[in-house]
Amino acid sequence: MSTPHLIASMRTACSAALHFGPQLSGAVLLRLGYLCLALFTAVGKAVHQSGDPRLVLAQLQLVERFSQQLHRDQLAGALDAQASGAHALSRESYAALRLPEDDPHAITDDLFAGPPPVVQGRSCYKNAEELLAAWLGIAYFEAQRRIADAHLLIGRRTPDGSICAPRFTELAKLYDQGTASRHAIASAARRLEKLEPQDTTFEGTATELVAHGDDGRTLDESAAQTLKDLGPMAAQKKINSAIKTYKQTHGKQLPPKLGFFPGPVVNGVHFFSLRTNATDAQLIQSVCSQSGNPRTEAGRADRQASQEQPEGAGEDIEQNDEAEVGTQQDSSSASQEPGPVPEWLRSEQPMPPWAAEESEDDADEPDGEEHPPNTEAHDDPAAEPDQPLRRLNAFMALLRAPYTGGKRKVIIPKCVVYLWHADLQNLADAHGMSSNGVEIPPGELRQMLARANIIPVVLGGNSQVLDMGRRMRYHQGPIREAILARDRGCIVPDCTAPPDQVEMDHYLKAWSDGGETSVYSGAGMCTKDHHKRHAGQLKVLDVDGLPHVLLPEHQDPEQIPRRNTYWDARQAGESPARTNSATCDSCNGTAPTGAPKAHFLGSDDDNEDPLASDGA
C-alpha cells in the first residue's frame, strides 16, 4: 500500500469513529484505540531514530497535544466510571475485561453483549475511586483527585444520576477549549475550591460560588481570564495573589507567629528559624542579594569564608528535612556560579561582534558600584563558599561589625519601595513592591512611608521616571533604581529572574554607537535575555515610552510587543495621559517633551535626591 493510500485509510478510520461512534460496537471502538496507540508508539520510535531536531520538535508539539487531550479523557473517563456505576460490576465482568495489552484481537463483541452485569449485594469495590485505583494501578488519592477535578471542570452528578454543569463554569469553558494548559487550569480549580463552601449538588441542594474579587467578579471568572491572557508563571502568580487577598480579607488565613526560633543541632550544625514581616524581609533580601553579587566589594568579601565548613557536613545536613527545604530554595541560584572553563571549550577564533559589544560596552553592573576585576581571587573556584555560605558570612559580619572595628566592606541593607501615584490617594488598600520583589501590604506600607530611612519611589503615567541627570556609561545608582521602579524586573514576558539579578540594556541605542545612559534609554533584562537581545533572538521596541519585547514568531505568532507582567510592571495605556512637559525640582532634571511628571518622596529637602541615599 502506498503512503497516500495508507493516510487515506487512516483518515477514514478516524472519521468513522468520530461520526459513527454510537453505531460501532464496543469491540470495534477498542480495536481502533489500540491501533492508534500502536501507531503513536511506532511514530515516536521512528522520530527518535531519525535524529532530525526539526522532526523532534514537531513530534514534541504533537505529544503535548496528546497530553492535553489525555488529561481531559482521564477526567471525563473517571466521571463516566462514577456515573455509570462501574464499581458495581460482577467479578466475572472484571476478569473478562482484563485483556492482554499486546492482543487487541482478543476483544470481541461478546464482552459487551446485553446489559452490564451488576452484582447483587456487596460489590467488589466500595466506590469508583477504589475501582480506578485497583483497575489502573494508580494510588487511591490520584483516583480521588481525578474524580474531584472532573466535578470541577467536566460535570457533577445529581440525585437522579444525571450529569449537571461543573462547579467552575468559566474555567470549564477554557478547559474544554484547550487553548490553555489543562494541568494549570485543574490546579487553579483545586485551589479555588478551598475557598468555596462544600458542594451539596449531589444531595439535591444547589450551591453557588461565593468567592469574589475586588472587581466584583467571581474568582472563577478572574482566574479563567488570567490563564487565557497571561503566560503560565505570570498567571500562577496573579491567581495566587488573588487567593491570598481573598483569604486575608475574609479572615481565612492567619499568619504564623513572628520571631527568631532556635532549632535543633545536627552533627554540630545549629539550625535557626526566622519569621519576619515584609518590611524586615526586604532588609534580609537586600543582604542576600548583595552578598551574592561578586561584582561588589561586599559580595567579594563574603567569598572569604569566615567559618570552617566541616568535611562531609553537607551530606549529613541534607538528610534533615529543614535543611533540605533551604537547599531547594537556593539550588537555582547556587547553580549559576561559574566554574573553570575546560580546554575543549576555549576557542581560538575571535569573539563575535555582538558578544564583544555585550561584554565591553553594554554589560552593566547589576547592583552597587563599578569595580575592576578581582585579580586576587582564588585560583580554585571550588574553594570559594557557595551562595548560602556567603549569605551567612554577610550576616555574621553585620553582627560582628559594631565591636570588631575591621576595615572589611560591610553590607548596608537597603529598602526601596515602588508604588504607583494612584496608590497614594488610597493608602488604605495600597500595596507596594520592594526592589527585591517583596510585596509590602497596606499596613506596613503606611508605616514605611512615615520613616525617614525608607526610600519610596512614586511613579506617574506610563511608568516613566524623569531623567536623573547622571551621565555615565553604566546604569547605576539612581538611574538603575528608577529603571527598576518602572520595569520591576526583566521585561521579557514570563521571566521570573529576581530583580536584583537584572542588568540594564541600552535598548534604544548602544553606548558604543553614541547612545546615552539615562532612564529612558535603559531596559531591565536578566543576563540570559540580555544576551538573546544582543544576539538578535528577540527585539526590544519603544512603545509609548516603555520598552516592549517582540518575541520570535514561533513563540508569539501574533507578533505583538509585550511587557512582563510577573513583577506587576506598569503596562502601556494603564496610566493618565501624558503632559506636554514636566520638571522635577527634587532631581534638578527636566523631562523630555511629552513625558509625565514624577515625584519623589522620603526626603525633607526638596533639592536632595532621595534615591542617592543609602537608606538603612
Instruction: Answer whether residue 496 is part of any domain.
Output: yes
Specify whether the CB–CB gap between 267 and 318 falls below 8 A.
Answer: no
pLDDT at 187: 94
DSSP state of 385: -
Specify whether the CB–CB gap between 564 and 493 falls below 8 A.
Answer: yes
Mean pLDDT of 140-152: 94
Q: Specify whether 532 is located in the same domain as 577.
A: yes
> Which segments of 405-526 does DSSP mark as H helices, in order?
421-424, 442-449, 477-487
Q: Specify whether 93 is located in the same domain as 171.
A: no
Confidence of residue 574 (pLDDT cuts 50, 70, 90): low
Q: Specify whether 77 is located in the same domain as 214.
A: no
Instruction: Answer whether residue 68 is part of any domain.
Output: yes
Q: Which of 394, 383, 200 is nearest to 296 (CA)?
A: 394
For the cut 80, the answer to whether the pLDDT of residue 550 exceeds it is yes
Confidence of residue 267 (pLDDT cuts 50, 70, 90): confident
pLDDT at 223: 94
Q: Worst-scoring range by mean pLDDT, 153-162, 320-329, 444-453, 495-504?
A: 320-329
Q: Specify whether 174 is located in the same domain as 123.
A: no
Q: Rounding to the nearest 10 degrees, give the CA dihedral for residues 275, 277, 279, 281.
A: 30
Q: Which residues contact 397 (CB under 8 A, 6 or more apart)?
A: 301, 302, 306, 408, 410, 411
Whole-angstrom distance, CA of residue 545 vs CA of residue 563: 12
Whole-angstrom distance, CA of residue 376 vs CA of residue 474: 24
Q: Which domain holds residue 181?
A: 155-254
pLDDT at 46: 92
Confidence of residue 185 (pLDDT cuts 50, 70, 90): very high
pLDDT tens digits, 473-496: 788 777 788 888 888 889 998 888
Mean pLDDT of 73-91: 92
For the cut 50, the answer to whether the pLDDT of residue 584 exceeds it is no
Mean pLDDT of 135-146: 92
For the cut 50, the answer to whether the pLDDT of residue 197 exceeds it is yes
Q: Which of 371, 363, 364, 386 is nearest to 296 (CA)?
A: 371
pLDDT at 268: 72
Whole-angstrom distance, CA of residue 105 vs CA of residue 88: 27
Q: Specify whether 601 is located in the same domain as 460.
A: yes
Q: Specify whether 460 is located in the same domain as 576.
A: yes
Mean pLDDT of 543-570: 84
Q: Worst-scoring range by mean pLDDT, 58-62, 271-275, 295-299, 597-601?
A: 597-601
Given 132, 147, 175, which residue is the final one in a domain?
132
Q: Specify whether 93 is located in the same domain as 238.
A: no
Confidence of residue 16 (pLDDT cuts 50, 70, 90): low
Residue 405, CA distances (Å) to 17, 280, 408 in order: 82, 25, 9
Q: How many Cα neighbours within 13 Å face the side chain of 420?
A: 18
pLDDT at 467: 53
For the cut 90, the answer to whether the pLDDT of residue 514 exceeds it is no
Instruction: Answer whether residue 570 is part of any domain.
Output: yes
Structure-model confidence comparison of residues 146 and 396, the more confident one: 146
Structure-model confidence comparison of residues 579 and 199, the more confident one: 199
pLDDT at 421: 65
Whole-angstrom distance, CA of residue 128 vs CA of residue 144: 8
Q: What counts of helices (H) and strands (E) characterise the chain?
A: 20, 15
For the cut 60, the answer to whether the pLDDT of residue 363 exceeds it is no
DSSP-derived pairing of the beta strands 455-459 and 416-420? parallel
The tally of domains found in the chain comes to: 3
Residue 463 CB burial class (10 angstroms; 0-12, 13-18, ≥19): buried
For the cut 50, the answer to whether the pLDDT of residue 109 exceeds it is yes
Whole-angstrom distance, CA of residue 498 vs CA of residue 567: 9
Specify whether the CB–CB gap between 186 and 72 falls below 8 A.
Answer: no
pLDDT at 305: 46
- Sheet bearing 599-600, strands edge to edge: 439-440, 432-434, 416-420, 455-459, 599-600
Given 254, 271, 302, which residue is the final one in a domain?
254
Instruction: Answer whether residue 299 is part of any domain.
Output: no
For the cut 90, the answer to whether the pLDDT of residue 170 exceeds it is yes
Instruction: Answer whether residue 523 is part of any domain.
Output: yes
pLDDT at 412: 65
Q: Worst-scoring range by mean pLDDT, 116-125, 450-459, 556-565?
A: 450-459
Q: What is the 3-state secondary structure (H, E, C) of 305-368?
A: CCCCCCCCHHHHHCCCHHHHHHHHHHHHHHCCCCCCCCHHHCCCCCCCHHHHHHHHHHCCCCCC
Residue 309 grid cell: 565548613
Q: Rounding to the nearest 10 degrees, give the CA dihedral for residues 102, 106, 107, 110.
A: -160
> Which segments of 128-277 does DSSP mark as H helices, in order?
128-136, 140-153, 169-177, 182-193, 219-229, 232-249
Instruction: Answer whether residue 33 is part of any domain.
Output: yes
Q: Specify whether 20 is located in the same domain as 163.
A: no
Residue 47, CA distances (Å) to 31, 43, 52, 109 in order: 24, 6, 8, 35
For the cut 80, the answer to whether the pLDDT of residue 354 exceeds it is no
Structure-model confidence comparison of residues 29 and 538, the more confident one: 538
Confidence of residue 323 (pLDDT cuts 50, 70, 90): very low
pLDDT at 405: 52
Q: Which residues contact 193 (CB under 8 A, 6 or more apart)?
A: 148, 152, 167, 168
Specify whether the CB–CB gap between 448 and 615 falls below 8 A.
Answer: no
Structure-model confidence comparison of residues 61 and 6, the more confident one: 61
pLDDT at 56: 93
pLDDT at 153: 95
Instruction: Answer whether residue 41 is part of any domain.
Output: yes
For the cut 70, the answer to whether the pLDDT of residue 464 exceeds it is no
CA 306 to chain CA centroid, Å, is: 35
Specify whether the CB–CB gap between 272 and 396 falls below 8 A.
Answer: no
pLDDT at 376: 42
Three-class DSSP category at 519:
coil
Top mean pLDDT of 96-105, 242-251, 469-478, 522-531 is at 522-531
Q: Worst-scoring range by mean pLDDT, 141-155, 345-359, 415-429, 495-509?
A: 345-359
Q: Worst-scoring range by mean pLDDT, 254-258, 366-370, 563-567?
A: 366-370
Q: Specify whether 554 is located in the same domain as 429.
A: yes
Q: Rounding to the nearest 10 degrees, give the CA dihedral for residues 451, 584, 459, 293.
A: -70
E strands of 460-559, at which residues?
503-506, 522-525, 539-543, 546-550
Q: Which residues contact 197 (CB under 8 A, 6 or more apart)?
A: 207, 210
Share of the chain above pLDDT 70, in %: 63
Whole-angstrom distance, CA of residue 534 vs CA of residue 507: 9
Instruction: Answer whether residue 376 is part of any domain.
Output: no
Structure-model confidence comparison of residues 51 and 309, the more confident one: 51
pLDDT at 450: 59
Report the mean per-residue pLDDT for the chain.
73
Q: Worst-scoring range by mean pLDDT, 195-204, 424-433, 502-511?
A: 424-433
What does the angle CA 190 – CA 194 – CA 196 come to, to the nearest 5 degrees?
110
Cβ burial 290-313 (10 Å sphere, 16+ → b, else e): bbbbbbbbbbbbbbeebeeeeeee
Q: Specify whether 54 is located in the same domain as 198.
A: no
Given 236, 254, 272, which residue is the final one in a domain?
254
pLDDT at 364: 45
Q: Specify whether 204 is located in the same domain as 60.
A: no
pLDDT tens digits, 113-122: 888 888 888 8
Q: Worst-scoring range by mean pLDDT, 151-165, 213-227, 349-363?
A: 349-363
pTM over 0.75: no
Whole-angstrom distance, CA of residue 299 vs CA of residue 384: 12
Tell me the backbone φ, ψ of residue 255, rounded to 5 degrees: -70, 150
Q: Specify whether 478 is located in the same domain as 534.
A: yes
Mean pLDDT of 543-565: 87
